[in-house]
């Protein structure tokens, strides 16, 4: 088991490096008003997504996707908050697109093959941004997890599945992104369908296992529980038993 964990960690590091794409861009920051309007219209407060609605609003949706495709963030003109908001919104918008393009389906995993980082749904190069081709893994593992020291992204990006953090029904924007990320973390951690927390027994999402290093690299010996405790409404004892919940990949509609 220990060897498997080490191999998995090494593979994730390799994936992060191999998913990095170098782009030269002079674009200016964009507004996310179109995406915000679509989210308010087609996503419930609980995160249920009306994919048929996105399909019906295809023309407006494509306007936003084109806006993303024409503007690649850069260090010259974009603040860190603007870049972070862009990449979170881009990940979520292109996830909705790949589901809508293949709808109806029961799970996003049906779209691709069975081998992670090789031919899965998240390895399909369907995203075009300023002449470069991306897949969803590029956006998450090559950009968001590499360029930003921000574990809360794992509560902001949505994988179109029941066990994922909900798709927020508003766009992420630079002006309030820190508050939005804090709220996303709070909602996810205190959602009993995602995490079951009591003082001495904690059953948490597999997200905290898959990305354990992201949550603990800036913390002390408390590990993942230390991170979770910052947002949990229930006080957790440091010696609490920790298990992980099964992950439901059913479509979040």
**Each residue's pLDDT tens digit, 162-206:** 999 999 999 999 999 999 999 999 999 999 999 999 999 999 999
User: pLDDT (tens digit, 9 = 90+) per residue, 28-79?
Assistant: 999 999 999 999 999 999 999 999 999 999 999 999 999 999 999 999 999 9
Cα–Cα nearest to 95, from 84, 83, 107: 107
Q: Where are the domains of the chain?
A: 10-189, 193-248
- Better-scored residue on pLDDT, 2 or 22: 22
Q: What is the pLDDT of residue 223?
A: 84
pTM: 0.91
């Amino acid at each position: 088991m220990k060897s498997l964990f080490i191999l998995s960690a090494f593979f994730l590091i390799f994936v992060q490096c191999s998913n990095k794409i170098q782009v030269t861009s002079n674009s200016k920051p964009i507004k996310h008003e179109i995406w915000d309007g679509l989210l308010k219209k087609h996503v419930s407060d609980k995160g249920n997504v009306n994919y048929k609605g996105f399909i019906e609003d295809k023309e407006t949706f494509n306007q936003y996707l084109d806006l993303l495709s024409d503007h690649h963030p850069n260090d010259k003109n974009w603040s860190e908050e603007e870049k972070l908001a862009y990449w979170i919104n881009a990940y979520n918008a292109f996830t909705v697109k790949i589901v809508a393009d293949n709808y109806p389906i029961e799970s996003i995993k049906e779209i691709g093959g069975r081998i992670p980082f090789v031919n899965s749904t998240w390895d399909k190069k369907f995203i075009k941004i300023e002449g470069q081709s991306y897949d969803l893994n590029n956006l998450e593992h090559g950009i968001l997890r590499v360029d930003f020291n921000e574990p809360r992204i794992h509560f902001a990006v949505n994988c179109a599945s029941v066990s994922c953090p909900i798709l927020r029904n508003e766009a992420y924007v630079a002006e309030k992104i820190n508050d939005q990320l804090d709220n996303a973390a709070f909602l996810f951690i205190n959602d009993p369908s995602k995490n079951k927390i009591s003082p001495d027994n904690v059953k948490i999402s597999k997200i905290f296992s898959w990305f354990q290093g992201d949550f603990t690299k800036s913390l002390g010996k408390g590990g993942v529980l230390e991170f979770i405790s910052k947002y949990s409404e229930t006080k957790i004892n440091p010696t609490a038993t920790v298990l992980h919940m099964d992950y439901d990949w059913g479509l979040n509609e």
